[in-house]
Amino acid sequence: MTEPETVEPPATHRRVLVVEDDSVVLGLLTKIIGEAGYDVVGAPTGEAALGELDKQLFDAVLLDLNLPGVQGMDILSVGPTLQTDTPFIVMTAFGSVDTAVEAMKRGAFDYVSKPFRTEELLLTLRRAHEETELRREVARLRRHVKEEGPGVEMVGRSAAIERVRDLIARVAPSRATVLIAGDTGTGKELVARSIHFMSGRAERPFVAVNCSAIPETLLESELFGHVKGAFTGAIANKRGLMEESSGGTLFLDEIGTVSANIQVKLLRALQERSIMRVGGREPVPIDIRLIAATNLDLGEEVRSGRFREDLYYRLSVFPIRVPPL
């Protein structure tokens, strides 16, 4: 690698995750990127990378595709569900153009070939950050338009409300699942609607469900649908709300009240992006952005065994806490 010549350091510190199984290369990348003004977190395996992605937000991910165990392509597929608008830059061996193209198809921002020049790497990182900032600025402008014009509006100018607005602007353009926490009556559904109307799904359905208001026996059919003859009174096939909201956003209020059975089916739907109607045998693909809300301490519900830990982490990819009135 050559020393950087014209690349200026970022104006503010940004966090970069470097995923590389070669300890020498990982150490060198950490040093070079760190000296360029970035905060660097290193991960030597795919498993470690997924753990870091689940724990904290990054402004960029530099990802080696050739990893032991969990492969780089697997991380690239899962990444958007763990992060929001974070760009992934993949590292490939010289001449692996087909692999790089496949990575781009799966959502990678760009790629660099090994061995690469330091200047090229830092320029790619800077371009990734500039595009991310542009998307965030567009989201902020869209938020401003929504507030000034008709539609969803959040009232209040306190520091806490402004922080919620900023979080909405950041997460709205992404595909990340959002968990909104707050007391009853603090406007959790308003936050969910704001995310939806500032997202690329704004023209598609926004479907809201109060999970605590529907008995479990009916909630399963309402969410996942059923086939004819699945139970007494099922005289025809019925699409569930997950299918009805496909392409848009499904908002599940009071998620902490759902039964263990519903939790299992929700987890499977998030993992596989498909659902099984009650009484059905064939999976039905879905394309939804899921936003959940609760007035409970879901962390405590997990510790007490009343809520699944794996579902909790799937839901809380991007948590937002709404301040009390």
Give the model confidence (pLDDT) of 217-267 as tens digits: 889 989 998 888 888 777 888 888 999 898 899 999 999 999 999 999 999
Beta bridge partners of 113: 92
- The confidence score (pLDDT) of residue 10 equals 44
Residue range(s) occupied by CATH 3.40.50.300 in the chain: 155-321
Residue range(s) occupied by CATH 3.40.50.2300 in the chain: 15-136
| Tokens describing residue 153 | 């509006």
Q: pLDDT under 70 in the chain at which residues?
A: 1-13, 80-84, 94-97, 135-157, 325
- CATH number for region 155-321: 3.40.50.300
Q: Give the whole-angstrom CA distance, residue 296 versus residue 309.
A: 15
- The confidence score (pLDDT) of residue 3 equals 42
Sort 256 into a burial class: Cβ within 10 Å, 0-12 / 13-18 / 19+. buried
Class of domain 15-136: alpha beta
- The confidence score (pLDDT) of residue 315 equals 92
Q: What pTM did the predictor assign? A: 0.57
- Count of positions (residues) in the chain: 325
- The confidence score (pLDDT) of residue 105 equals 78
| Tokens describing residue 50 | 């997924």
- The confidence score (pLDDT) of residue 175 equals 82
Query: How far apart are the two ends of the chain, measured CA to CA in Å?
Result: 55
Query: Which of these, 24, 22, 72, 21, lies nearest to 50 by C-alpha position?
Result: 72
- The confidence score (pLDDT) of residue 232 equals 78
- The confidence score (pLDDT) of residue 227 equals 87
Give the model confidence (pLDDT) of 172-218 as tens digits: 888 889 999 999 888 899 999 999 988 888 888 999 999 999 988 88
- The confidence score (pLDDT) of residue 139 equals 60
- The confidence score (pLDDT) of residue 138 equals 61
- The confidence score (pLDDT) of residue 142 equals 56
